[in-house]
Chains A and B, each alone.
Chain A
Amino acid sequence: MKNHCSLCSAGQGNCDSCPLKGGSKYIPLSEECNKKILLVGNPNVGKSALFSRLTGVHAISSNYPGTTVGFTQGRFRHGDDCYQLIDVPGAYTLDPTNEAEAVAKRIIDEGGDIVVVTLDACVLERNLYLALQVIETGANVVVALNMVDEARHEGIHIDVEALEKELGVPVVPTVAVSGRGISDLVSRLHEAGPGRFTGMNPENRWKKIGEIIGKVQTVSHHHHTLKDRFEDASVHPFWGAVLGAFIIVAGFLVIRQLGEGTIGLILDPLFESLWLPLLNRLSDVLGPGSLAHSLILGSLIDGGLDFEQSFGLLTTGLYVPIVMVLPYVVAFYAVLSLLEDSGYLPRLAVLFDSLMHRVGLHGFAIVPNLLGLGCNVPGVLATRVLESPRERFIAATLISVAIPCAGLQAMIFGALGNLGGKYVLMVYGALLVTWIILGKILHAFLPGYSPELVVEIPPYRMPSFQGLGLKLWFRIKGFIFEAIPLVLLGVLIVNGLYISGVMDALTGFLDPFFRTVLGLPSSAVGPVLLGLLRKDVAVGMLLPLGLTPSQMVVAVVVLAMTFPCIATFIVLWKELGLIRMLASVGVMIISALTAGAILNGLFLLLA
C-alpha cells in the first residue's frame, strides 16, 4: 500500500483527483515526524473518514493512558514536512460530560502544532461550539468544513469566505467520504494560526455563534425526501421494529454464511492438510502420554490427534480460536462495522432502550450484548462504551451468563438438534428469561443509578470503505491479540487442573447435589462438571449416555449459562477487577444452578 493513492489505482500523484498530489505520500509509523496535528470534532462529523483519507492504512489504535477510551494515530508527508496525525475522540464540548470528552480535552491541553477542527456543515451551529472552544485555547487552527455536499442537498448554503473572516482561521470545504477538498486542506495546513476568540462563558459563546450563523448561513426550504421518510420510519415504534428485526435476521444470516463458508472451504482444509501432519510428527517425537504431549498436543482420540477434543495447546488451543471462532468474529465485525458506519446502530439503541432500561442499562448496551452472540470476549470488552461501573458490571454479567457465543450455540445445536427443534427453543427461551430476570434482580439490588440514553441519530450514509476496512482490521487485531492468548492460557490451566486431580475431587464432592437438584443421572455429573471448563468435549460425552430429552435440556442450560470458555473468565477479571469478577462468577453459578433446578422441577411437574 505504500505510495498508493487512496482514490485511484494509478498510483500516488499520478492522477488529478489524487488528494495528496504534489509530493505528499503515506509514510510508515516508524519514521520520525516533526509536526503534530490533532484532528478534533463532534461525533458523527466524518472525522474518521478524513483521518483515513489523510493517513491511508498506516495507523495504530491505542487506549489513552489510564482510560478505556481509544484514539488512533497515523502519519503522512507533505512537501518537506512529516505530519503525525492524532484522531482525537469525538467531543461536543471541552467541558467534559463523558470519558471520551475528558480524553479529548487532555489531548488538546497537551497541545499540537496544528489543530484541524472538523465541522459538519449540516449542523454548523452546534458544531461551532467546540470550534470556538478550541480557538479560545489559542491553538493554531484550520477548519475542515465537512459534508458540504450533504448540506447543499438539505438546502443549507454556507459562505466559506465569510466564515473564515468571522473565525480568523482558514476554512476548507471537504467531503471526506469521497476525498473532495482533502488536497486543499493539506496544502493550507501551513496557514493554520490562532483565531479571533479568547475565553468566553457558554452564554456568550452561544450568542457569538448565533451572530456568526446569521452572517454566514442561509437555508432554503427543504422538502421531505424519501430518505427522510426512511429515517423517520426507523425510529417509528412499529416500522422501526419491523426494520430492526429484518436487519438483525439478515445480519445473522450473512454472518453465518460467511463464517461457515470460511471454515468449511478454507480454514478447516488448511488445518487438516498442513498443520495436522506437522503435529502428528511432533506427537511421535514427544510420545503419547508424556506430560509434554498432554500439555502441548493433548490426548489421543480414537488413536489420533483431534482438533476439537484433544485439548492441547497446539491442537484445540489454536483450532478453536482460529478455525471455529475467528471466521464468525470477522464476519460479525464486518456486519457490525457496516451498521455502525451507515448510521443504523443508534437507531437500534433507540429500539432497545425500553427493554434495556428494565435491566438497568440504556439502549447502547445492545451493542455489547449483540457482540457477545459472536464471542463473549469482545462482548465483555465492549461494555467499556457504557458510562458507569454499575452498568458495566450488569452488562458483563448478563453477557457471560445468558448470551450464548457462536461456539456455545454450536454446542446447543449439536446436543439437541437431532432431538427436535422445540428442545433447542427451550434452551434459548430459558436463556432469554434468565437474561431478563437476572437483569431485573441486578438492577433492583445494585446501588447507584443508570444514566439516560442521549444519542445523536445521524442521517443514513454510504460508509467509506477505506474507513470500514481500517476499523475492521483494528477489531480483528484486537481479537487476535486479546482473545487468542487468553484461550491458550485457559487450555493450559484446564489441563493443569485435570493432571493435578483437582477436577476428580470436585466431581466426587458435587455428585449428590447434581443428582437430586438437577435430576441428572450419576453418569452425567462428570461430563457436566467437565463441561464447565471444556464445553466442546462435554457434548460428545453426554450424547452416548442415553439421557431423556428433558435431562439433556437441563444439562445443556446449565452448561450454557456457566462460562462459555475460560477466556471469558479471564477477560471478566481484566475488565471488572478481582472482586467484581468473583461477584459476577458467583451470580453466574447461582443462576445456572437455579435455572437448572427450576427447569427440572417444571419437567417433573409436567411429566
Chain B
Amino acid sequence: MKTSIYMLKNGEKAKIMAMPPGMCGRRLEAVGLRTGKIVEKVSGMPFRGPITLDIDGRQIAIGHGAAGKILVETLETGDRE
C-alpha cells in the first residue's frame, strides 16, 4: 500500500518510493533517507509533531511537514529485511 511516511503506524516497516525534491530532499538524504531504503516508524508526537524513524539501526526525527512529503510502500510482514 502506498502512503506517506507520516501515516505509518508505530512499528510498521516500509520502503521509500519517492523523496521530496529540492533542499528539503537533500537534507533528508544527508541523514540517510533515500529512495529504496527500508525504514521503520518508531513513534510519532501528537499535535502534528515530528515522527521518529529507525533506519539502518539509527533513529532520525523529522518534522511533520517533511514527513508528509516522503512516499513509501508498506511491507507485508513476510517481506521484512
A457 and B60 contact, CB distance less than 8 A: yes
* Contact between chains at A354 and B45 (CB < 8 Å): yes
Q: Residue-by-residue, is A336-349 near B (CB-CB < 8 Å gives 1, otherwise 0)?
A: 00000000001001
Contacts of B42 in A (CB 8 A): 232, 235
Contact status B65-A452, CB under 8 Å = yes
Give every chain B residue within 8 A of A156 (Cβ-Cβ): 57
A362, B63: Cβ atoms closer than 8 Å: yes
Q: How far is the CA of A346 from the CA of B62 in the complex (A)?
A: 11
B61 touches which of A122, A123, A235, A451 (Cβ 8 Å): A235
CA distance A101 to B26 in the complex (A): 12
Distance to closest chain B CB from A34 (angstroms) = 35
- Check if A237 sits within 8 Å of B62, measured CB to CB: no
Q: A97-B27, A237-B43 are in contact. Are A353 and B63 (CB under 8 A)?
A: yes
Contacting pair A232 B43 (CB below 8 A): yes
Residues on the A chain within 8 Å of B45, using CB: 235, 237, 240, 350-351, 353-354
Chain B binding surface SS class? mixed
Q: Which one, A97, A154, A222, A354, contacts B50 given CB within 8 A?
A: A354
Interface string of B31-67 (1 = CB under 8 A from A): 1101000000011111111101000111111111110
Is A92 in contact with B59, judged by CB distance below 8 angstroms? no
**B27: A residues at CB distance < 8 A:** 97-98, 451, 454
CA distance in complex: A456, B56 (Å): 12
Neighbouring A residues of B1 by C-beta, 8 Å: none
A454 touching B66 in the complex, CB below 8 Å, given contacts A232-B42, A350-B50, A351-B45: yes
Q: Does B75 contact A (CB under 8 A)?
A: no
Residues of chain B lying within 8 A (CB to CB) of residue A236: 43
The residue of chain B having its C-beta at the shortest distance from the C-beta of A101 within the complex is: B30
Q: How far is the CA of A122 from the CA of B58 in the complex (A)?
A: 8
Q: How many residues of A contact B (CB 8 A)?
A: 38
In whole Å, how far is B63's beta carbon from the nearest beta carbon of chain A? 3
| A270 contacts chain B at the CB level, 8 A cutoff | no
Docked-complex contact B52 and A457, CB < 8 angstroms: yes
Residues in A whose Cβ lies below 8 Å from that of B62: 452-455
Known: A95-B26, A236-B43. A457 touches B59 (CB 8 A): yes
Let me know if B28 is at the binding interface, CB within 8 A: yes
- Measured between C-beta atoms, what is the minimum distance from B57 to chain A in Å? 6
Instruction: Please report the C-alpha to C-alpha distance between residue A373 and residue B42 in the assembled complex, in whole angstroms.
Output: 32
Are B31 and A454 closer than 8 Å at their CB atoms?
A: yes
Query: Hey, which chain A residues are within 8 Å of B24, CB to CB?
Result: 451-452
- Is the C-beta of A363 less than 8 angstroms from some C-beta in chain B? yes
Rounded to whole Å, the gap between the CB of B66 and the closest CB of chain A is 4
Please state if A123 and B59 are interface contacts (CB–CB under 8 Å): no
By a beta-carbon cutoff of 8 Å, the part of chain B in contact with chain A is 23-24, 26-28, 30-32, 34, 42-50, 52, 56-66
17 A/B residue pairs, CB under 8 Å, sorted by A: A92-B30, A92-B31, A93-B26, A97-B26, A122-B58, A231-B59, A232-B42, A235-B42, A237-B43, A346-B61, A350-B61, A353-B45, A354-B46, A453-B61, A456-B31, A456-B59, A457-B52
| Other 12 A-B pairs with CB < 8 A, given A350-B45, A363-B63 | A93-B30, A101-B30, A206-B34, A222-B57, A237-B43, A351-B45, A353-B50, A354-B48, A451-B27, A454-B66, A457-B59, A457-B60
- Point out residues on A near B: beta carbons under 8 Å: 92-93, 95, 97-98, 101, 122-123, 125-126, 154, 156, 206, 222, 231-232, 235-237, 240, 346, 349-351, 353-354, 357, 362-363, 451-459
Going nearest first, the 7 A-B pairs with the smallest beta carbon separation are: A452-B63, A354-B49, A92-B30, A457-B59, A453-B63, A452-B66, A126-B32
